[in-house]
Amino acid sequence: MSSLDSIRKVLQNCQQEHLLKFEDQLNENEREIFLKQLSTIKFDKVNALFQKAKNSISEDVQKLDSRMQPISAQQCGSEKSASAEELLSYRKLGLEEISKGHVAVLLLAGGQGTRLGVSYPKGMYSVGLPSGKTLFQIQAERIRRVLNLAKEEHGTMGQIVWYIMTSGPTNATTKKFLEKNDYFGLSQDNVKVFQQGLLPCFDFSGKILLEEKNLVALAPDGNGGIYSALSNNHILKDMENRGIKYVHVHSVDNILVKVADPVFIGYCVTKEVECGAKVVSKDGPDEAVGVICKVDGKNQVVEYSEITNETANLRDSSGNLVFSAGNICNHFFTTEFLQKIADDYEPDLKLHVAKKKIPHVNDSGDKILPSSPNGIKIEKFIFDVFQFTERFVTWEVSRMSEFSALKNADSAKKDCPFTAKRDLLRLHKSYIEKYGGKVKDGVEVEISPLLSYSGENIEEKVKNKIFEETTILLSEEEDCLKKKIENCIKS
C-alpha cells in the first residue's frame, strides 16, 4: 500500500487532491481503508477517461441513418429459415464441442436488482415458479442437462466451466449463495466467480466524488468491463489451461436463455466466426432496443435513440423492418478473439456516459442525496467489440422460446417477474402440447431444466395426459430425491 505522502503527490499531479480533504478527521482504521482504496486507482488513466467521456457528453447525439446498412445476408442465420438437417448438424457439432470440454459459459451477473425492488443480486431472484427456483438455479441446471445431452450424443461426459462476472455490490453475496446451495449440482472446480472493474464517479467538472469521507464513490464499469476483467482476473489464462475454445456469454436476467445452446455454438463454429450474436426480430419500429447492423462498414449495435423514426420504420419489399435484428445480450466468442480484445483493443472501446444522481459527501462533510443528476458514471458495453472482427454472424431465434427479460418490478407490467413467469410457463405448455398433453387454462405446469433442455425427454410424462392442477415435471434424479424426503418425513 502506498504511503499518504506518495498518494498526495499523485493526487496533486492529477488535480484530485480534494479527495484528502477530510483525511485529518479519520481514525487509524478509516485512514488505512481509504489509503488502500486510493492506491488501487490509476488516477492518470481515470482522468483521461473523464476527458474522453466529457467530449462524448458535449457532442450532440448523432443520427447514424446515412451511415447505416443491414448486415449482409451471408452473416444472418435463422432458426426459422434453417432446414431440419442444418439444425441437426449444428446441434450435433455443438454437443460434440461440449463433450470435448471446449465450451464455457460466462454469465454477466453484476446487477443488483434495484429496479426489481430487491437489495440482492438479480440471479438470486425467484419469479414465483411452482418450484421456487431462482435464476441462478435454473441456469445451472440447464448447464447440467446440456452436459447430459452431449454425453448421450457422443458418449463422453465433458465439462462446462461456469464463469460468473459479478460487481463490487454483488460479489460476496453471490459467492455465499452459490456455496450455500452446493453450486446447484455443478462441480465447485468448474464454477469461477470473478469481479468486474469499478470506475470513480465524477461531478461535471471532472472532480472525483467521495461517497464517504474515507471512500471514493465507485460504480461498475458496465458489461463491457468483461474484457479487462477477463485479463486482470487471469480468467483467459484459466480458459487456455483448460483447453476452452468457445464461450457463450449472456446476461443473468433472461429467464428463457438456452445456456450453452448447442445449436448456436454449432452454427458459429460451422461458420468459423470469431464472434456471434443471437437476435430477436423487433416487435415493432418503436421498440426501444438496439439493432445489429453495419455503420461505416463495421458491425455495430445502434441504439434506438441514434436513428430517426423514418429509418426505424424502413421496410423491405416483403414488408419486414430493414433494421429488425434486436440485440438481446446473448453472444458467442472464441477465446482467441477475447484474448485479442484484451491485448489490443480494450482501450479503444467506446465510452457510454450516463448522468446520474450520485450520493456524495460535500465540501462541508455532509452526506448529500441529490434530487437531480449531479455527476456522471462511465460504462463500456460488451457489444462494442463487434467492430473489431470481419468474421461475425447473427442467429435469429424466437422471442417466445428464448427471450424474456427480468428488469422491473411488477408495477411496470413489462419485463417483470409476472411476465417472466408467464413466458416460461407458456413455453413449457407448448412443449407439453407438442407431445400430446393438455394443460387446462390457468393451470401452472413447470418442467425442470434437469428433465428437459428444450422440450425433449418429456413425452412419456405428458402424452395423453390432462393437467388440471399445479405440477412440476421432475427428472429421475429429482424424483428419487423427492421420494427419499417424503419417506423420511413419514418415518
pLDDT tens-digit map of 374-402: 999 999 999 999 999 989 999 999 999 99
When mean pLDDT is compared across 95-109, 133-147, 293-307, the lowest value belongs to 293-307
Mean pLDDT of 209-226: 92
What's the whole-model pTM score? 0.91
- Asked if residues 446 and 422 have their Cβ atoms less than 8 Å apart, the reply is no
What pLDDT score was predicted for residue 409? 94
What pLDDT score was predicted for residue 374? 94
- Asked if residues 421 and 302 have their Cβ atoms less than 8 Å apart, the reply is no
The residue behind cell 480458459 is: 239
- Asked if residues 406 and 416 have their Cβ atoms less than 8 Å apart, the reply is yes
For strands 103-108 and 161-166, give the pairing.
parallel
| Percent above pLDDT 70 for the chain | 98
Burial of 38: CB neighbours in 10 Å, binned 0-12, 13-18, 19+: buried
What pLDDT score was predicted for residue 491? 65
pLDDT tens-digit map of 62-117: 688 899 999 999 999 999 999 999 999 999 999 999 999 999 999 999 887 878 98
178's CB contacts (< 8 A; 6+ apart) are: 136, 164, 184, 191, 193
Domains of the chain: 4-57 (no CATH), 62-403 (3.90.550.10), 415-491 (no CATH)
Q: Model confidence at 57, in pLDDT bands (50, 70, 90)?
A: low
Amino acid identity for residue 490 in this structure: K
d(CA 331, CA 396): 12
What DSSP designation does 122 have?
G
Mean pLDDT of 440-457: 97
pLDDT tens-digit map of 246-263: 999 999 999 999 999 999
Q: Which of 42-56, 208-222, 426-440 has the highest mean pLDDT?
A: 426-440
d(CA 255, CA 446): 13
What pLDDT score was predicted for residue 354? 84
What pLDDT score was predicted for residue 484? 79
